Amino acid sequence: MKFLLVTVFLDMLGLGLIVPILPALMTVVTDDPATAVLWSGVLGSTYGVLQFVVSPLLGRLSDRCGRRPVLLASLVCLGVDWFAHAAVSGPWPLLFFHALAGACAGTNTVVNAYVADVTEPADRAHAYGLIGAAFGLGFVAGPTLGGLLGAVDVRLPFVAAGVLCFANAAYGWFILPESRPGDGATPLTLRGANPVTAIAVVLRRPVLGRLTWARLCADIARMIHQAVWTFFLTVQFAWSTAHIGIVMAAGALAGAVFQARAAGAIVRVLGDRRAAITGSLIGAVSLAGTGFATEPWMLYTCQAVGVAGSFGGAAAQSWISRGIGADEQGTVQGALTGVSAIAEACVPVAAGAVFASLIAYGHPSLIFTGAAVFAAAATLLLATTRESAKTT
């Protein structure tokens, strides 16, 4: 678990490092701000598409060959991508390496499967809460450090991210044990590697299928919020960049502490199903409230409510992992990562277009009402799904 927490933290730290500096790098690479924006969008979409295409295969490979080699290979590929960001002088080579990183982005898939391997069902929600906390802490530290390093040199944050990835891979090579030896009987076929087929197989399973649809709705709500949040704060409240950064960092830090300290206890009391439903409902209320926030104190209240519901994700992940066999944890987690990749690739573009239209009509906050609808749909799906020892 220590290595997994460090891995998630460093992954998010590495991604966060480049957030404040990517526009400047792309401007240097393309010599034109407008072209830089276009290429930044292409890079992000390419990463998401390749992650969608390859994640089911990586999950399947972790079932067949073991978690350890797939996880370490993913870390090395991500490190290569960051060093490429620091070294290349044109957008096309950058696109190639970013596509490679998306194809090897198996960290989330394998970490979730690894947690299921090494924890008892009763402790699994707490473990996933710790993973969420590490994710949040990396989100706090990454942009701050990236901004400081980028002030020295626009390529320095990418070098730092690459060093962190390789250091973590080396750490894992010597420290990380295999959680589950590979099963040579697990077949590797084109049908199993096809992301559409892999997701369709998951969706056809009555309980797991409903949980997957709920996951997709929750991911859509999350990505709508993530895509427009900083723009909303600028338009609605005219906050400065520093103010926005402080509010985002405070929210991420509060969420990380809450998940690390409280998520496991709450899920133990409520159980996976009730905790997932309750957390999802609280999240929907937070998003709906944000849609009506006209004063900063209202916004802070909604943000606090959202933090209070953050245990729902850990509970839902525990519910899913508890109901699938050890020989298919990687396969199912790969399909779920593919589902999340769909939202990550498609939602930001759509949310940005809708938000721009709402600004023109003078109602930008309505975007969060739309996000709340998807969160409410996720809650309804969870509430109408029976609890089963096996999500078959």
Q: How do residues 11-49 score in pLDDT, each as one tens digit? A: 777 777 766 676 677 777 787 766 776 777 677 778 778
Assess if residue 273 is contained within a domain: yes
Is position 186 within any domain? no
Write the DSSP symbol of residue 326.
Answer: G
Number of domains in the chain: 1
Query: What is the average pLDDT value for the chain, to the nearest integer?
Result: 83
Cα angle: 143, vertex 1, 170; to 5 degrees: 70
| 188 domain-assigned | no
Does residue 190 form part of some domain?
no
Q: Tell me: pLDDT of 211 over 90.
A: yes
In a domain, 391, yes or no: no
Tokens (6 digits) for 333: 């987690």
> What is the domain range of residue 107?
2-176+195-383
- How many whole angstroms separate alpha carbon 19 and alpha carbon 224? 18
The amino acid occupying position 290 is T
Length of the chain counted residue by residue: 392
- CA angle in degrees (0–180, nearest 5) for 202-4-66: 55
In a domain, 147, yes or no: yes
| pLDDT of 246 over the 70 cut | yes
- Select the more confidently predicted residue: 317 or 10: 317
* Whether the predicted pLDDT of 214 surpasses 60: yes
Burial of 163 (0-12, 13-18, 19+ CB in 10 A): middle
Whether the CA torsion 43, 10, 337, 198 is positive or negative: it is: positive
CATH number for 39: 1.20.1250.20
Q: What is the mean pLDDT of residues 81-102?
A: 83
Residue 76 lies in a domain: yes
| φ, ψ at 75 (rounded to 5°) | -65, -40
Per-residue pLDDT, 260: 85
- Alpha helices (H) along 153-205: 156-175, 190-193, 195-203
**Domain assignment present for 109:** yes
User: pTM for the full model?
Assistant: 0.80
Work out whether the CA dihedral 378, 379, 384, 386 comes out positive or negative: positive
